[in-house]
Amino acid sequence: MSATAARRVESARAGSGARLQALVRRLESLIEMRVAEENRLSSAVSTVAVKQSLEAHIRYLIEEIKQTEAAIQEQINNHPDLKQKSDLLDSIPGIGQTTAALLLAEIVNLKQYKSARQVAAYAGLVPRERRSGTAVRRRTQLSKIGNARLGTALYFPAITALRCSGFFQQWASGLRERGKCKMAVIGAAMRKLIHLAYGVLKTGKPFDPNWAKAA
């Protein structure tokens, strides 16, 4: 492939990724609006007119969410590169199509990262130590600097992986034996998912417990 052709392919990939990102972020906004309206409907003392308005808006948002989800899947299916990457991510325990789409939308250019740790840092999933004064060490916590969408999106997949995946259950048992608390284990699982995502996308090979232990 010539350099010009390669640039065209890369440009097309960037364009498809940008469109996917726009759709995924639109879906996120629609879901936030639906949740907000549902909370208003359940908590507010409203007139009949307001209640009907809320219910109508919720129905509209639900339909918009369905259409946007379909558009996201169509965008992925229509682009072989995105489809391949989505299938690779879907092979990881805890990561389904929705999370795979978000990862692909937010990590647009994997080549800019030299390691899985760099991707984890971008997602705000690298632990940092809290200190009191200059010497007293305190509990570590995840950095709040990074792409909040990625961190938020991986919370429930991490819980699912810890509950349903034999690989993650065995891996997490070692953390618990070392005294890690529940939230620390969940945070570590979120970080592990990012490392695994980087691994499958970098190698082009689906999840394999044998190499995943070192990821």
**CATH code, domain with 21:** 1.20.58
Is the model's pLDDT at 18 over the cut of 70? yes
Last residue within a domain, chosen from 78, 108, 141: 78
What are the residue ranges of helices labelled H in 108-147?
A: 116-122
Higher-pLDDT residue of 7 and 212 is: 212
The token pair that represents 107 in the structure block:
């990590």
Structural contact between residues 82 and 97, judged by C-beta atoms closer than 8 angstroms: no
Same domain, 207 and 104: yes
Average pLDDT of 25-38?
A: 96
Same domain, 33 and 7: yes
Range name among 20-34, 71-85, 197-211 with the lowest pLDDT average? 197-211
Q: Which domain holds residue 95?
A: 85-215
Backbone torsions φ then ψ of 82, nearest 5 degrees? -65, -40
Same domain, 134 and 67: no
Question: pLDDT at position 6, please?
Answer: 43
Average pLDDT of 46-56?
A: 88
Helix 148-164 vs helix 166-177: crossing angle, to nearest 10: 100
Question: pLDDT at position 5, please?
Answer: 43
Q: Which of 97, 206, 202, 74 is nearest to 157 (CA)?
A: 97
What Å distances lie between residue 149 and 78, 107, 112, CA to CA? 24, 11, 19
Please give the mean pLDDT across all residues of the chain.
Answer: 86
Same domain, 8 and 114: no
The domain tally of the chain equals 2
Q: Is 101 exposed, middle or buried (0-12, 13-18, 19+ CB in 10 A)?
A: buried
Higher-pLDDT residue of 17 and 168 is: 168
Which residue in this structure is represented by tokens 């819980």? 159
Which residue type, as a one-letter code, is found at position 135? A
pLDDT, tens digit, 9 for 90 and up, residues 199-208 = 999 999 999 9
Structural contact between residues 154 and 193, judged by C-beta atoms closer than 8 angstroms: yes
Question: pLDDT at position 142, please?
Answer: 55
Same domain, 38 and 107: no
Same domain, 89 and 53: no
Question: pLDDT at position 136, please?
Answer: 46
Last residue within a domain, chosen from 27, 55, 78: 78
Q: How confident is the model at residue 17 (pLDDT cuts 50, 70, 90)?
A: confident
Average pLDDT of 40-56?
A: 85
